[in-house]
Amino acid sequence: MKFITGFILVILFAGLYLYLHATSTLQILLDQQLLHKIIEDLDFWGPFLVIILMCGAIVMSPIPSAPIALASGAAYGHFWGTIYVLIGAELGAIIAFSIARMLGYEAMQKRFGDRIKIKWLQSDTHLMLVVGLSRLIPFISFDIVSYAAGLTSLSYLRFAMATLLGIIPASFLLAHFGSEMVTSDLSGMLITILLLGGITGIPLIIGIVIRKIRAHR
Percent of the chain clearing pLDDT 90 (strictly above) = 24
Helix axes 32-41, 66-100, angle to 10 degrees: 80
**Residues 25, 35 contacting (CB under 8 angstroms):** no
Q: How many domains does the chain have?
A: 1
Nearest to 88 by CA among 148, 48, 128, 125: 48
Helix ranges (DSSP H) in the chain = 2-22, 25-30, 32-41, 46-59, 66-100, 106-112, 124-134, 142-149, 156-183, 186-215
> Which residue has better confidence, 8 or 146?
146
Structural domain range at position 186: 2-215
Structure confidence at residue 204 as a pLDDT band (50, 70, 90): very low
Does pLDDT of 113 surpass 70? no
> Which residue has better confidence, 138 or 52?
52
